[in-house]
Amino acid sequence: MTEKVNRQVVLSERPRGPIEARHFNIVESTVPTPGPGQILVRSIFSSVAPPHRAWIQGVTYRDQVAVGEVIPGLAISEVISGPADGPARGTLVAAHSGWQEYGLADAAEAQPIPVGDHLARHLGVMGINGLTAYFGMLEVGQVKAGQTVVVSAAAGAVGHLAGQLARIAGARVIGITSSDEKNRLLTDKLGYDKAVNRRSDTFQQDLADAVGEGGADLFYDNTGGYVMEAVLPLMATHGRVVCCGGTAAYDGLEQMPVGPRGIPLLIILKRLHLVGFIVLDFLERFGEAYEKLAGWIDGGQLADLAEVRDGLDAAPQAMVDLLAGDSLGNLAFRIGPDPA
């Protein structure tokens, strides 16, 4: 009998500047055998997100990805085999099995997910992005009705949900993206009050006009860099900044300014509260968040933007496109068919 082949996306070379598709390789290996406490899964979907770039760049809250290593990440998968006290064969799970057709994951950490039509959603609005937006905006941001809220990467996987949650809370919401097309979608379909283009020559003025004289009470920041530098001077006194992500610094750190410049004095003068968080801080409350998110989706108040590309081979270019701003909402790729 011929052994089953496992196709995998590995890091072929560590980028020294912006990442390119050639920094990845598609390789073949044999399907692994689970060790004690592990499950073998067949992957159906995985997603591409800025943290992948950060993990390649250096040590974060996890080890740096080594050259030759399979790109890590969460996947929606079907359990093939594992320990008797783990999820049964055929169970659908969200597990950290990486960008490959077959992977191993810790049985205790695999999260069973319901069978349904929207499997990829468990990587998006009903997965880590929805949870991040929920806890970032509502708990860390403490958003209140009547506040003016600015969201960076506002059409991104986390951003488009964070902005809508602020809108649901009764805030006035301003999004920042890199295209007029994305901005139209935010204002026409997702209920943002205003949206400005960070690539426009008049970005700073457009942002100031959108925020208005009262300043921004809350800034949900996904990017850092020059976008953060543009927003902070427009914050209201005692304003709050939710530091969710620093995408501007992930891709080619050597070329990035260390910045934001001139910020410490600004923080003092405006008495700003900058609060960082990691969504896993709220692990014990994930159930509550899933319930609320599902309610808003079912009630038509929360829409999710998602793009699914076809095949494992699409992953390297998807990573490049994501960082270039050429994606909308959660960017996933299909690795294998849905279970029969």
Ligand X SMILES: NC(=O)c1ccc[n+]([C@@H]2O[C@H](COP(=O)([O-])OP(=O)(O)OC[C@H]3O[C@@H](n4cnc5c(N)ncnc54)[C@H](OP(=O)(O)O)[C@@H]3O)[C@@H](O)[C@H]2O)c1
Q: Is 223 in the site for ligand X (CB under 6 A)?
A: yes
Residues 6+ apart with CB under 8 A from 264: none
Q: Which letter does DSSP use for residue 108 in this model? A: T
Among 98, 225, 239, 260, binds ligand X (CB under 6 A): 225
**What backbone phi and psi angles, to 5 degrees, belong to 94?**
-100, 120
Q: Is 153 in the site for ligand X (CB under 6 A)?
A: yes
Residues 252-291, mask of contacts with ligand X (x by CB under 6 A): -------------------------xxx------------
Among 232, 247, 316, 335, binds ligand X (CB under 6 A): 247
- 3-class DSSP assignment, residue 165: helix
Residues 166-185, mask of contacts with ligand X (x by CB under 6 A): -----------xx---x---
Q: Is 198 in the site for ligand X (CB under 6 A)?
A: yes
CA distance 312 to 111: 22
Residue 158 near residue 244 (C-beta atoms within 8 A):
yes
DSSP 176-197: EES-HHHHHHHHHHS--SEEEE
**218 versus 227: smaller Cβ distance to ligand X:** 227
With CA atoms as reference, report the closest residue to 130 among 96, 164, 99: 164
**48 versus 70: smaller Cβ distance to ligand X:** 48
Q: Is 123 in the site for ligand X (CB under 6 A)?
A: no
C-alpha distance from residue 9 to each of 4, 17, 42, 92 (Å): 17, 20, 15, 22
**199 versus 271: smaller Cβ distance to ligand X:** 199
Shortest approach of ligand X to residue 244 CB, angstroms?
Answer: 5
Q: Is 156 in the site for ligand X (CB under 6 A)?
A: yes
Residues contributing to the site for ligand X (CB under 6 A):
49-51, 128-129, 132, 153, 155-159, 177-178, 182, 198, 222-223, 225, 227, 244-248, 277-279, 322-323, 325, 327
